[in-house]
Amino acid sequence: MSLGRVLVEKFHPEVLEWLASRAELVVVDPWVETERWDSEVPQVDGIISRKGRITREHIQRSRGRLKIVARTGVGVDESRVDLEAAEEHGVWVTNMPGSNSVAVAELAFGQMIALARHTMEANRAVKENRWGDYLQFLGTELAGKTLGIIGMGNIGTRVALRARAFEMSLLVCDPYIPESHVTALGGRWVGLNELLAESDYVTLHCPLTTETKGMIGEKGLALMKRSASLINMARGGIVDEEALF
C-alpha cells in the first residue's frame, strides 16, 4: 500500500530507496531549493524533514491534504513547525527522541577537546606553515575542570556520563529533572547563575521554548569566567546572539 505523496529531504540513498518503494517521493533540499520547498509542502500527504520549516501558510494551503510531519530529530518547536496551526488543522507532528543522543554527546566532547587543545588553530597554522611558534597552541586538560550542563534529558545525561570518564566536576541546571538523577551521576544540582559563574565549560541541551528563548543573555554571559567556553548543542535562539557578540 502506498503512503501517498511524501516530501523528504536529501537523506542517505539507501533511505530514499526504501521510502521510494512505499511512497511517491518528492526530494527537496529546503535550504538550497527554498522556493520549491514552499511550493511542494501544500501538495503532499506527508513530510519527513530534518531542517525544513513548516509554516501556518503551508498548512493552510494544503487544504487538509497534509496529514503528518515527521521530524527526524528530537526538537519540535516553532522554529521548525507551526505547532498551533498543525493542531488546528489535524496535522500529526512526530519526532524521534533519543535517536541521536550518543552522536550529540560525543560531538559536545569533541568541541570541548578542540577548545581545550586549540585543535582548529593548530590545524590552520600547519596548513599555513606557521608551526614554528607552537607554544601558542599549548592547551589544558579537561580533567579537573567543571562542566555545567543546562538540560539533563537524554543528551545531557549522556554528556554527564562522559564527563565522569574525563574526571570532570559536574554542575547541572534543569528544573524538570529530580535532584536524585543528578547526584546519581556524580553531579550537583544548581541554579542557572551559579552554574554559569562556576563552570569552565557550559553545554546547552534544552529545547527552545518561550521559557528558554534568550535564556543565556548579557547578564548570564557576564557571570562566566573569561576563560570559560559556551557550547550550544541545542537551538540557536536559546542564546541572545547580540549579547554574545
What pLDDT shows up at residue 151? 97
Per CATH, the number for 5-94 is: 3.40.50.720
pLDDT in tens, 170-217: 999 999 999 999 999 999 999 999 999 999 999 999 988 899 999 999
Q: Is 169 helix (H, G, I), strand (E, B) or coil?
A: strand
Among 63, 58, 66, smallest CA distance to 82 is for 58
- 223-244: b (≥16 Cβ within 10 Å) or e: ebeeebbbbbbbbebbbbeeee
DSSP classification of residue 136: G
**Angstrom distance (rounded) from CA 73 to CA 205:** 13
Query: Using only C-alpha atoms, what is the Rg of the chain?
Result: 21
Fill in the DSSP letter of residue 238. Answer: G
User: What are the φ/ψ torsions at residue 194 (nearest 5 degrees)?
Assistant: -65, -40
List every span in the chain annotated with CATH 3.40.50.720.
5-94, 101-244
Predicted TM-score (pTM) of the model is: 0.84
pLDDT at 1: 60
Give the pLDDT score at 226: 95
The ranges of the chain with pLDDT < 50 are none
- Which three cell numbers mark 93? 507532528
**Domain 101-244: which CATH class?**
alpha beta
Q: 202: which 3 cell numbers? A: 557550559
